[in-house]
């Protein structure tokens, strides 16, 4: 039998999806499972987008240009320029979701062994795309205690080597929900200019900023044209995850002309998706207002409930639709599995993502979980009640006091 590649062996399995068999079993056993584990919102996709799909009137489902249709890129330009990006359709390459945007960006800028610095915790699949291209992710710890703010620039400076090519941020952040301030963005700008690095910015959650804190993109900063690569997707913005429609935006021509070669290799993004994406740009502002109000209410439900549980701490995030919570537990992987395998409250349980999957640093996130508030407030309240009851009886419960004792006994 021929061998699997070493790359294939090293490739990480999805840490979020590995608990799925336990959830499936729980459901087979008749239990209700509240899915707070993945970023698949229950929010309805804008009617205009769905209607555009239903109205297709072509007879041949043909390739589009590798960079996407001009009409879609024109509409996107309208959307981004309303947000102050000052771009033209020539600055865009349409991709199969944010995923393809990331892998093309990595291949365009980094060779095997090159390094990208990412504040952690971070979206686990960054690791996967790095692994695909034999790129090294250098994590820099951010901390739950200050809500996962940008780590000090001195930490970045310490991590930069002659292999460092880029800094990769995600704001509003998955998994933390943290929204970088203008000051933090300015600090990153100075850093990438000083060291001549790319700044990759995953902006999947751009539309979901709360507390009246403004969203600041690196596209809003002057003097970064050659450094900034924006990764975007319609997945979360329009609750259209299954459309697989994203894009890369950059004013760096050399980057664009290289990235398009990777895009040409896979021929074309989807035609129907681009038609839908074009319609999506005309989504009325009320859609986002309604969705933001809904997410804000959900976030409040979850954050309040969590912080009212004994031994639990959950920062109040400024964006996205995730929270990270510190729980009084020994091991989040074990806890999340136990929730599905062993626990039941009124025949219900909760599926969460162990935070360990979002960290590269060994041992980090052991007592943290990520919750996606992608269910309605009613179900979220029931899920929180479930979690509260679970924490009372979890055999691996660890309080701050006995965690400290344990640490001392090890020393």
Tell me whether residue 130 or residue 398 sits nearer to its own copies (CB atom).
130
Q: Least separation, in Å, of the C-beta of 367 and its own copies? A: 26
3-state SS class at 293: helix
Tell me whether residue 77 or residue 252 sits nearer to its own copies (CB atom).
252
3-state SS class at 170: strand
Q: Least separation, in Å, of the C-beta of 236 and its own copies? A: 11
User: CA-to-CA distance for 191 and 387, rounded, in angstroms?
Assistant: 41
- Give the burial class of 46: count Cβ atoms within 10 A of its Cβ; 0-12 exposed, 13-18 middle, 19 or more buried: buried
The CB-side HSE value for 313 (13 A sphere, CA atoms) comes to 10
Q: Least separation, in Å, of the C-beta of 142 and its own copies? A: 23
Q: Least separation, in Å, of the C-beta of 401 and its own copies? A: 39
Neighbour tally for 300: CB within 10 Å: 15
Q: Least separation, in Å, of the C-beta of 155 and its own copies? A: 21
What lies within 8 Å, CB to CB, of 118 at 6+ separation is 126, 137, 138, 139, 140, 167, 168, 169
Tell me whether residue 3 or residue 154 sits nearer to its own copies (CB atom).
3
User: CA-to-CA distance for 375 and 383, rounded, in angstroms?
Assistant: 10
Tell me whether residue 60 or residue 407 sits nearer to its own copies (CB atom).
60
Angle at 365 between CA 364 and CA 370, to 5 degrees: 155
User: CA-to-CA distance for 161 and 157, rounded, in angstroms?
Assistant: 9
Tell me whether residue 8 or residue 284 sits nearer to its own copies (CB atom).
8
Tell me whether residue 106 or residue 343 sits nearer to its own copies (CB atom).
106
Q: Least separation, in Å, of the C-beta of 283 and its own copies? A: 13
Residue with tokens 């915790």: 121
């Amino acid at each position: 039998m021929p061998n699997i590649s070493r790359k294939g062996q090293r490739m990480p399995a999805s840490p979020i999806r590995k608990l799925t068999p336990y959830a499936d079993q729980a459901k087979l056993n008749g239990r209700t499972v509240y899915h707070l584990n993945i970023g698949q919102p229950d929010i309805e996709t804008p009617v205009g987008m769905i209607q555009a799909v239903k109205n297709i009137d072509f007879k041949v489902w043909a390739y589009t240009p590798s960079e996407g249709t001009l009409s879609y890129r024109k509409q996107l330009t309208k959307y981004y320029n309303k947000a102050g990006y000052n771009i033209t359709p020539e600055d865009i390459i349409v991709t199969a979701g944010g995923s393809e945007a990331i892998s093309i960006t990595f291949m365009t800028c980094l060779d095997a062994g090159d390094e990208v610095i990412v504040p952690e915790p971070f979206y686990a699949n960054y690791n996967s795309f790095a692994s695909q291209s034999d790129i090294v992710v250098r994590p820099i710890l951010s901390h739950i205690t200050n809500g996962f703010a940008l780590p000090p620039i001195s930490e970045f400076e310490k991590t930069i080597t002659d292999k460092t090519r880029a800094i990769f941020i995600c704001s509003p952040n998955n998994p933390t929900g943290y929204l970088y301030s203008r000051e933090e963005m300015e600090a990153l700008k100075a850093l990438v200019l000083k060291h001549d690095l790319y700044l990759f910015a995953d902006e999947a959650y751009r539309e979901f900023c709360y507390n009246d804190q403004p969203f600041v993109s690196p596209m809003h900063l002057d003097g970064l044209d050659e450094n900034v690569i924006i990764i975007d997707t319609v997945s979360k913005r329009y609750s259209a995850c299954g459309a697989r429609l994203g894009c890369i935006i950059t004013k760096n021509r050399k980057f664009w002309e290289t990235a398009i070669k990777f895009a040409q290799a896979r021929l074309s993004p989807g035609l129907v998706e681009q038609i839908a994406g074009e319609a999506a740009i005309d989504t009325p502002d009320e859609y986002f207002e309604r969705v933001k109000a809904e997410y804000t209410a959900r976030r409040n439900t979850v954050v309040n409930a969590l912080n009212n549980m004994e031994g639990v701490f959950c920062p109040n995030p400024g964006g996205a639709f995730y929270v990270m919570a510190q729980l009084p537990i020994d091991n989040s992987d074990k806890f999340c599995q136990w929730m599905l395998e062993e626990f039941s409250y009124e025949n219900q349980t909760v599926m969460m993502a162990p935070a360990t999957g979002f960290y590269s640093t060994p041992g980090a996130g052991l007592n943290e979980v990520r919750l996606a508030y992608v269910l309605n407030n009613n179900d979220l309240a029931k899920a929180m009640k479930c979690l509260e009851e679970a924490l009372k009886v979890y055999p691996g419960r660890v309080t701050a006091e006995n965690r400290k004792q344990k640490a001392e006994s090890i020393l």
